[in-house]
Amino acid sequence: MLVTLAQAVINGLLIGGIYALVSIGVTLIFGVVKIVNFAQGEFVMIGMYLSFFLATRLGVDPLASLLLTMPALFVIGMLVQHFLIRRVLALGDMPQIFLTFALSLLLMNVVLLLFSANYRTVQTHYTEAALHLGSLYVSVAKLIAFAVAMALSAVLWVFLRATDLGKAMRAAAQNRDVAMLMGINPDRVFAVAVGVALALAGAAGSLLMPFYPAYPLVGQVFVLMAFVAVVLGTLGNVTGALIASLMMGVAESLGIQFVGADSGLIVVFLMLLATLAFRPNGLFGGWTR
């Protein structure tokens, strides 16, 4: 019984690492650019397809393809910010929501048109490998994914705190006008923020490929998790998103183990409900009125 519990917790933490990459991206964009990226999951999906094609056409291992997907998505992010997001920043909620929402729909359906709805998988030599710690079973692919996810999060943390650009991002997040007065170019900062967020999504995609199938709607699964984690971890709070994502991963895993195989969504919803009911500002949330 305890073993089952421990197993579920471990599985939950491991997948929670992936959720963290997605939700950190969402919360970063929200904190800095003040816009919710509904298409974040679709960029994970794109990362997955990129890795898939690199693996099947060029024989590149998905983990190695990180080196390609991350920069590629970083550039895509900067383009998205420059050509799309920038145009709606002054317009208010509706255009901002529906722009990224439309982007999400567009990406999903274009991929569907181009590559059909078939599941794409990549088999690596470590896809089936596992570590056995006592009676616990730890998938190597998931463990690597988790480790890389945590490493990337740590790098981001350092970036935000120690580099000028990172500090500029945090400044712009806190107060755009003052940041501008101090010579920070908001467009540049926003472009980097979106670029970083999408790079993280791309990383998630590559890390997922060894053990998860790619298909046009795969992003939807992760984005809902990510959004709840962002709310739970307090909007704009990167560390909060990380912690909340791990919590959600564990909660989902426990739900699947002890309640039922398709209880994942119910668990997510219950967590959202509980957050809204008791801590609407999130776990690390600021001042209530």
Partner 1 sequence: MIAVAVLAAAAIALPLVVANRFAIDIAIRVLLFAFIGVAWNLMGGYAKQLSLGHAAYFGLGAYTSTILLIRFDVSPWLGMLAGGVVAMLASLPIGALCFRLRGPYFAIATIATAQVMMLLFLKFRDFAWGAEGTTIPNLGDDPLMMQFDGKAAYYYIALALLAVGLFITHRIERSWMGYYLVAVGEDEDAAEAIGVNALRIKRQIYMISAFLTALAGTFYVQYIYFIDPNTAFSFNISVEAALVSIVGGIGTLWGPVLGTVLLETLSAFLQSWLGSGLGGVQLTVYSLILMAVILWRPAGLIGFVSDAWKRLAPAPAAPVEARDG
Partner 2 sequence: MAEALVVRNLSKRFGGLRAVQDLSFAVAEGETVALIGPNGAGKTTSFHLITGYHRADAGSIIAFGRELAGVRPYDICAHGLARTFQVARPFGKMTVLANVMTGALLRDRRLAAARAKAQEAIDFVGLALKAETPARDLTTIDQRRLELARALATDPQVLLLDEIGAGLTDEEAAELVRTIRELRRQRVAIVWIEHIVHVLVQVVERLVAMDSGRVIAEGDPEAVMRNAAVIDAYLGTAV
When binding is defined by CB under 8 A, the residue of 148, 168, 231, 244 that contacts partner 1 is: 231
The reply to whether 227 sits near partner 1 by the rule CB under 8 A is yes
Taking the complex as a whole, how short is the minimal distance between the CB of residue 168 and partner 2, in angstroms?
A: 23
The whole-angstrom separation of Cα 190 and Cα 85 is 9
Task: Give the residue carrying structure tokens 């060894």.
Answer: 210
Residue 137 phi, psi dihedral angles, 5° rounding:
-120, 120
The reply to whether 261 sits near partner 1 by the rule CB under 8 A is no
CA distances from 235 to 143, 177, 262, 282, 285 (A): 28, 20, 28, 7, 8
Instruction: Please give the residue ranges that form the binding site for partner 2 (CB under 8 A).
Output: 286-289
The reply to whether 269 sits near partner 1 by the rule CB under 8 A is yes
Partner interacting with residue 85 (select from partner 2, partner 1, none; CB below 5-8 Å by kind): none
When binding is defined by CB under 8 A, the residue of 67, 133, 259, 265 that contacts partner 1 is: 265
Joined tokens for residue 252: 């989902």
| Torsional sign, CA 146, 142, 24, 254 | negative
Taking the complex as a whole, how short is the minimal distance between the CB of residue 41 and partner 1, in angstroms?
A: 12
Taking the complex as a whole, how short is the minimal distance between the CB of residue 141 and partner 1, in angstroms?
A: 28
The reply to whether 283 sits near partner 1 by the rule CB under 8 A is no
Residue 125 or 289 having the CB closest to partner 2: 289
Interstrand relation of 130-133 and 136-139 (parallel, antiparallel or unpaired): antiparallel
Taking the complex as a whole, how short is the minimal distance between the CB of residue 175 and partner 2, in angstroms?
A: 14
Cβ-based neighbours of 228, under 8 Å, separated by 6 or more: 244, 248, 268, 271, 272, 275
Residue 58 or 117 having the CB closest to partner 1: 117
Write each residue from 18 to 37 as x if it is in contact with partner 1 (CB under 8 A), else as -, in one continuous string. Answer: -----------------xx-
Cβ-based neighbours of 10, under 8 Å, separated by 6 or more: 136, 138
Partner interacting with residue 287 (select from partner 1, partner 2, none; CB below 5-8 Å by kind): partner 2
32 burial level (CB within 10 Å; 0-12, 13-18, 19+): buried
Taking the complex as a whole, how short is the minimal distance between the CB of residue 117 and partner 1, in angstroms?
A: 7
Partner interacting with residue 227 (select from partner 1, partner 2, none; CB below 5-8 Å by kind): partner 1
Cβ-based neighbours of 199, under 8 Å, separated by 6 or more: 70, 71, 73, 74, 77
Ramachandran region, residue 225 (left: φ > 0; alpha: ψ -120 to 50; beta: rest): alpha
When binding is defined by CB under 8 A, the residue of 20, 28, 38, 70 that contacts partner 1 is: 38
Number of C-alpha atoms within 13 angstroms, CB side, residue 59? Answer: 0
- Which residues inside 143-202 make contact with partner 1, applying CB under 8 A? none
Footprint of partner 1 on this chain (CB under 8 A)? 35-36, 38, 84, 87-88, 91, 93-99, 101-103, 105-106, 108-110, 112-113, 117, 216, 224, 227-228, 231, 235, 262, 265-266, 268-269, 272-273, 276-277, 280
